[in-house]
Structure 1
Amino acid sequence: MHDLSIIVPVFRDQSNLNICLDAIISQASSNCDSLEIVVVNNDPGTKIELPNLPSLEIKVVNCLTPGSYAARNTGADAARGRYLIFLDADCVPDTHWLEQCLYLVSQQEAPDVVGGEVDFIVSERPSGIEAYQAIVGFGQKENILFRRFSATANLLVRRAAFLETGPFNERLLSGGDREWCWRAFQKGFEVEYDPELTVRTNPRRRFSQALVQTRRVAGGRARLSTILAEHKLVPKDLLEPEKDIYGKIGKIFQASRFSLGLRLRAFLVAIVLKVVHDVERIRVRLGGQAERR
């Protein structure tokens, strides 16, 4: 059994997967026996190419069920590590990410669940969408410390804790990370925050991309509300929107690293996406199909 299994779900994104794997491989030279990489192809009709690395175990498994949480479950089933770390294909681990992973799992009192930081890579000439996402951010620290969940873009879990908590809910196409973390919390597994465990990802840069993402998140929250109401998993105040529009607007106009013009564009983006989010959430609650991308 390995110390660590890195599980990377991918859906038609070979280019970002290559960058992600290159970042891991560059850090893995002295730790090959301690880890494996499990790439989960969530579109088996699309072939995934992997680098030929005889010293590092890296494999592809296919997941026919749509959705990243189904893919993560498939990866966890195929993994052999004492610890599992879930990493998105469009995330690039920082230089010491793998070192920090292995350090955490080697501790005598190693944690059960750890959420790392997720930062955005901002271009030299950002669009309004890009500025909006960079300002609002993932909110990993606040979500972990105050809302008891971490995004699966960078989530380290002891295998035993994962097995006791159970798999991700495959009915969810978004929001499955918080639902799983809240179930883990009920089992006694507190999510810890580690700012040294950092990955970086590109924000959406085009409005069409942001619309798709907003619809996916809104649909996931609508379904999550139903599931949590059925199982009474968490207090209602943890489920309600954590980044209300007023809080976002305040963050936007305080973000002095961006010009006033760019902040005004980000403000307009925030208003439009708020409307899209609310309309989509209502549509899914009325029986509409949720966005998966």
Structure 2
Amino acid sequence: MNTGPTRGATIETDPITDFETMVRRLKASIIIPVKNDARLLEQTLKALRPQLEQLPNTEVIVVDNGSSDETESVAKAHDDVYFLQELSHDSSPYSARNLGVVNAIGDVLIFLDASCVPSESWLITGLRAMVENDCDLLGGNVVFTYSARPSLGEIVDSIKNIQNERTITRFGFAATANLFVKREVFETLGPFPSAIRSGGDVRWTKLASSQGYLISYCPQAIVHKPARGFSQLVRKERRTSQGSVAIGNDSGRHAPMIRNKLTRCLLPFDPIRAFRKLSEVQPGKAPMLILPVMATLWYLRAVSLISYLRELARQRASTR
């Protein structure tokens, strides 16, 4: 771990209002798991630096999960960053996040992906929203960014993935790409599922909301994330299917999961919502792109179903 600044001491800030003072005196820990993402990690840490000056009771913990690029040197170049390594469960961001939690001193634990570059007021906005709403968990807004000529994969990624507003308000779960959590929730529920690559945030935040913890959404707590290309999306579907099998294992009910995935294959996405998103990303081209986008969404749903069935069969065969 980097030596970094003195940890544990509360730094008083000039009072503005009672509410503002409460926000600024919060101890918070930003936990960033990373594997082979040095370039975007550097952008994220640079974007955080002025926000840490505004809120000096906040620390940043970067947890490397087995990188072979310049991730370690990038993290250690920032004096205000504490660097850890989680190598016992290589390629498991949830194990990395759990290690960050164990070493964190904050009363608020903030999970941020290395590829999610925060807007200039992200941190203070998220903390204010937590205090104002008196919520236990708060998901922020993940805004996708695109290349100069967005590919079909990038467009589909922004339509399909990390839709925090929808998943929080309708289903009670959020992605750890941009998530604020009170420490007491972790102390009660325990850590994220470890040694898995995908799906741990869905399982954990669903558990939290089912146990009565209040989860809210803040559209102004914005981070910017590059959209994935098509091949990355296919790999993600295969990974998340493993997480879905784990959720089915938890409940002991795989049949509803399979039916849901089959239904989503037959009706992969709301075409009206897809068209609206297309109109935002590619103004004027939505009519031409809607059919390729819907076909891609269908293909990814099929990949998800097939990957789920294969993973379930593999697990059952291994226990015989």
> What TM-score, normalized by structure 1, do the two folds share?
0.85
* Letter paired with 2:101: A
CA shift for structure 1 position 227: 1.6
- Provide the C-alpha distance between the structure 1 equivalents of 2:217 and 2:262, rounded to a whole number of angstroms: 18
- Provide the C-alpha distance between the structure 2 equivalents of 1:283 and 1:162, rounded to a whole number of angstroms: 33
CA shift for structure 1 position 252: 2.8
> Structure 1, residues 48-105: CA drift from partner, whole Å, max 9, x if none?
1225455x3x111111213111111001001111110001111111121012134245
Which has a greater percent of helix?
Answer: 2
Query: Is residue 187 of structure 2 the alignment partner of residue 167 of structure 1?
Result: no
Query: Is residue 290 of structure 2 the alignment partner of residue 263 of structure 1?
Result: yes
- Mean Cα deviation higher: 207-216 or 22-31: 22-31
Question: What is the percentage of aligned positions where both structures have the same residue?
Answer: 29
Root-mean-square deviation (Å)? 2.7
Match of 1:252 in 2: 274
After superposition, residues 8-27 of structure 1 pair within 5 angstroms as 8-27=32-51
Structure number with greater Rg is: 2
- Provide the C-alpha distance between the structure 2 equivalents of 1:242 and 1:74, rounded to a whole number of angstroms: 36
- Provide the C-alpha distance between the structure 2 equivalents of 1:109 and 1:262, rounded to a whole number of angstroms: 40
- Cα distance change of structure 1 residues 181 and 120 upon mapping to structure 2, 3 Å threshold: same
Match of 1:99 in 2: 124
Query: Is residue 282 of structure 2 the alignment partner of residue 285 of structure 1?
Result: no
Gaps of 5+ in 1: none
Find the partner of 2:115 among 56, 74, 90. 90
CA shift for structure 1 position 188: 2.4
- Provide the C-alpha distance between the structure 1 equivalents of 2:216 and 2:260, rounded to a whole number of angstroms: 22
Is this contact kept in 1: 2:111–2:179, CA < 8 A?
yes
- Provide the C-alpha distance between the structure 2 equivalents of 1:268 and 1:153, rounded to a whole number of angstroms: 27
- Cα distance change of structure 1 residues 59 and 261 upon mapping to structure 2, 3 Å threshold: same
- Provide the C-alpha distance between the structure 1 equivalents of 2:94 and 2:263, rounded to a whole number of angstroms: 23
- Mean Cα deviation higher: 142-151 or 127-136: 127-136
Query: Is residue 124 of structure 2 the alignment partner of residue 79 of structure 1?
Result: no
DSSP 3-state at the match of 1:99: helix
After superposition, residues 75-154 of structure 1 pair within 5 angstroms as 75-104=100-129, 107=131, 110-154=134-178
Is this contact kept in 2: 1:172–1:223, CA < 8 A?
no
DSSP 3-state at the match of 2:107: strand
- Cα distance change of structure 1 residues 74 and 269 upon mapping to structure 2, 3 Å threshold: same
Find the partner of 2:237 among 214, 217, 220. 214
Is this contact kept in 1: 2:98–2:191, CA < 8 A?
yes
> Structure 1, residues 125-157: CA drift from partner, whole Å, max 9, x if none?
111111112233422111111111110111111
> What TM-score, normalized by structure 2, do the two folds share?
0.79
DSSP 3-state at the match of 2:148: coil
Is this contact kept in 1: 2:164–2:174, CA < 8 A?
yes
- Cα distance change of structure 1 residues 270 and 45 upon mapping to structure 2, 3 Å threshold: closer
* Letter paired with 1:181: T
Is this contact kept in 1: 2:261–2:301, CA < 8 A?
no
- Cα distance change of structure 1 residues 138 and 44 upon mapping to structure 2, 3 Å threshold: closer
Higher relative contact order (CA 8 A, sep 6+): 1
Match of 1:275 in 2: 302
CA shift for structure 1 position 30: 2.7
Is this contact kept in 2: 1:215–1:280, CA < 8 A?
yes
